[in-house]
Structures are given as C-alpha cells and as structure tokens.
Amino acid sequence: MKKVSKVVQAVLLIFMMLISALNISRSKCESQTFVFSDDFSTDSGMWEFLGSAYRDSTNQCLVLTEPIDWTSGVVFFKMTFAATFTANFSFKAGGGSGADGFAVFFYKQKYSSFSYGSTLAFNDKYPNGTYKIIPGYGIEFDNWGNIELPNLTEHADPSANHIALIKDHTGNHLIYVNDSRTEDNMWHNVSLTVEYSSIRVLVDEDLVFLWNGTIDRTFDSFGFCAGTGAANNWHIIDNFSIEIPTCSLTITTTTGGTTTPSAGSYTYTTNSTVQVTAIPDVDYIFDHWELDTINAGSANPYTVLMDNNHTLKAVFTYSPPPPLSASVNPLSASILVGQSVTFTSTVSGGYTPYTYQWFLNGNPFSGATSNNWTFTPTTSGIFYVHLKVTDDKGNTAQSDATRIVVSTVPVGGYSIPLQPSIKTDTIIPYTLLVTVLTATFITVKRKIKRAQKHSKNELE
C-alpha cells in the first residue's frame, strides 16, 4: 500500500510540475487582467446592436430575439481580442413556438450580413440556401433540430436541443451535448473558458464539455447572436462578465524623434498586435527599433505582437543635411543683342523649400526669382550673372558668377553664319564687302549726326 501511494505521489508531483510549467509558458503577463461586467441596468456603451438585438432597459437585460418568426440579431462586444479569456453570463431561451437558438461567438471575423433560422445569425446564406461561412467559433444553444438535406449537409443537427462548439457556421459541430436547458425558458448560468488549446463550457456549474484542439485566433470579434425561423423563441442574455489577460508595452525613444503612440506605458489584451510609428525630428533620421533591448530592424511602422510584456525603443540618429550649395549653367556665353540665354540652376543640401534670386552685375534682377532665368540683354557689353538661393531656415548660397559677352548686331540687323563649307576664296570677297559696307555705314551715320548738329545750332 505504501509503495503504491508513493508511486501515486510521484506521478502527481510530475503531473503538477508539468501543469505549472505549462502555466508559466501560457501566462507570461502575470496578474494583469482586463475585467468587465455588465448587468444591463445602464447602457455600458460596450455593445454594438444589429438586427433584432437590443438592451431592454425595463427588464435590464440583453434581448437577442423576441418570439417573432424569421428574425435575427447580433451584438458585438466593442472590445476585440485574440487572448485567452473567461466569460460568464446567464441566458433564458424559450417561451415561444420553439426555434431556433442563440450562440456566444469568439475569435470571429467581424460581420454585418447574417441570416435567420438555422444559422442563428452566426453566419449568412447564399441565395441557393447553402451556408456562407464567417470564420470563428461559437458556443451554440440550439433549440431546433435542422435535418440533413441533400447537398446541404451544413444543416445537420444532432437533436432538437443541444449545446455545441461550432466553427465558421452552424452546421459544423466540433463537439455537442444534448441538453434541454436550451429551451426551458429558465435562467441558466454559463461559464466559458477558452485556454490556449482547450474550450470548456459549464452550465449552472456543471461541465457540459471540455474540447481540446488547435484554436485559430486569426480573428478577434466577440459577441452574441440568435435567430428564429418558421417557429420562434425569446433569446435573452444577462449578467455578463469577462476576464481577459493583458500585457504591457512601454515605448521609449532616444533624442531626435517621437512615436505614435507616444512614449509611455500601455496595456493591450494578450496576443493582440500593436503598430508603432517612429517620427524623426528635423536633422535626425529614424535608425532602428530595440524590442526588449534587442535590435528589431527598421520597419516603420513596427508591429508588436503582445505575447508578453514588452519594451520598445525608437533609436534616432543625428543626420543634418549637407550645406546648401548652388550652381548655374551655362558658366559663360557669347550672344548678340536681342538674343537670350537661359540659365538653369542646381541646388542641393540645406532645407527645402528653396527661394531664388538671380543677380545681374551684382544687383538683384527684379522678378528673376524662379529656379531658372532667361536673360535678354538690350545693350552690348560684358555681363555677370549669379544666383543666390535661400533655404527654409534662412541659410544662403551663391553660385559662381557666369560671364556673358553681348555683341552688337552686325550690319543689316542679322548675322550670317560662317559655315565651314564656304570656301576661303568666297570668304575673302565677302569679308571685304562687309568691311566696306560697315565703313560706309559709319561714314553715313557721322554725316547725318553732323547735319543734325548743324540744324540744331541753327535753331538755337
């Protein structure tokens, strides 16, 4: 006997060690829990009502359906979560002509389109009557046994009254127990505990079922739904409470930037994801994140999985821009009076936006304030052009001055290009001709001037 009891003790000890080891790995965020309860005596603001669902302020409960044929209602808990949880509530179903049931859903994709009858508003139907799935789990309190129709196996129900774990649609029972409490029009207390790989349902403190398996936590909606069909029932919820483990996220930054959410400590339900964005100050760049002091790369925004308490630090580095500089093109040009030259600029460094001022012979040229400028001289001579650029912080930079040689227009007011193809022997007479003509022109001009002077004197 003693030997046996020692063996039992050893087995128990190992078993307890295993359990505690599992507990350690499962509850990394120790003793932090979000707790919410609602007796529906006032509007908590935590529920979103769709279809036939409403808060009955007189009876202070949550009505999913009244005993009306072909109706359905959904209530979403406004807090979404993918964490393990324990939810408690009481329900009363029945009191009508006898259909269809209700469900509490979790890890469910948010939805707004749903059907009535056998779907319990847990999912929708295609026009041909087949079920349109909405991913997620539910504990179903079914009070109408839908028969299996050809090609519509989704409608198969094990009995008229059963409590089941359903997934994605009401035809998919992962586990069920026949139970008349789903329609006796009496209040019953439900305790639903969803762990990492188990789902447990108690009704009036009796175990209904414990299901073990892999749980898909892709989606995060929680709520209640119910439907009636060709027959009807009341489906009412009251005294709701929920406990959800949470983890904390502490965000810090180095000098040189901020984050969204801003630096500080936050609480999130376990296994939720949080996006944090780093925003560098002027003269700084975002360099990388440190998650729990370990370099976590430079993805921005960064997504933190709240599987544990975490610290996240945004690391910024000082990186001012290079000094402002400006250059212009062309650097020199030779043109004739009446022709123009267009200057373009290249500006780098400093802080945008830039403002521009072009200078002619050291003086700002009125209106020449864009990033390029077309200069059209009206007289011959040598001109100097430069650009002054001012950046957003008032820093300035000047380009080198460019030298523009402007010549007078040749005789006739136009120039004849000297093409390489023209032979030397034709150029000589041509040059002579131009020289003669120019000389003649100057002589004529002088004569006219002299004549004008004479006539002027005469008048005086």
Q: Is 394 exposed, middle or buried (0-12, 13-18, 19+ CB in 10 A)?
A: exposed
What backbone phi and psi angles, to 5 degrees, belong to 226? Answer: -155, 155
CB of 160 to Ca ion, least distance (A): 8
Distance, C-alpha 254 to centroid of its chain: 24
CB of 143 to Ca ion, least distance (A): 7
CB of 140 to Ca ion, least distance (A): 5
CA–CA gap between residue 65 and residue 75 (Å, rounded): 11
CB of 13 to Ca ion, least distance (A): 42
CB of 23 to Ca ion, least distance (A): 34
Closer CB to Ca ion, 142 or 220, in the complex: 142
Closer CB to Ca ion, 154 or 157, in the complex: 157
Q: In the set 38, 66, 154, 157, which binds Ca ion (CB under 5 A)?
A: 157
Closer CB to Ca ion, 229 or 350, in the complex: 229
Q: Which residue is nearest to Ca ion (CB)?
A: 142
Interaction of residue 402 with Ca ion, rule CB under 5 A: no
Query: Which residues are bridge partners to 316 per DSSP?
Result: 286
CB of 81 to Ca ion, least distance (A): 26
CA–CA gap between residue 286 and residue 314 (Å, rounded): 7
Work out the number of other CB atoms within 10 angstroms of the CB of residue 329.
Answer: 12
CA–CA gap between residue 206 and residue 333 (Å, rounded): 98
Structural tokens at position 121: 């508003």
Closer CB to Ca ion, 159 or 311, in the complex: 159
Closer CB to Ca ion, 165 or 244, in the complex: 165
> How many residues in the shown chain lie near Ca ion by CB under 5 A?
5
DSSP code string of 39-107 = -SSS--S-EEEEET-EEETTTTEEEEE-S-TT-EEEEEESS---S-EEEEEEEEEESSS---EEEEEEE
Closer CB to Ca ion, 38 or 179, in the complex: 179
Q: What string marks each residue from 109 to 148 as x (binds Ca ion by CB under 5 A) or -?
A: ---------x-----------------------x-x-x--
CB of 68 to Ca ion, least distance (A): 17
Closer CB to Ca ion, 179 or 287, in the complex: 179
Geometric angle at alpha carbon 202, from 198 and 205, rounded to 5° = 140
Percent of the chain as helix, strand, coil, to the nearest 5: 15, 45, 40
Interface residues with Ca ion (CB under 5 A) are 118, 142, 144, 146, 157
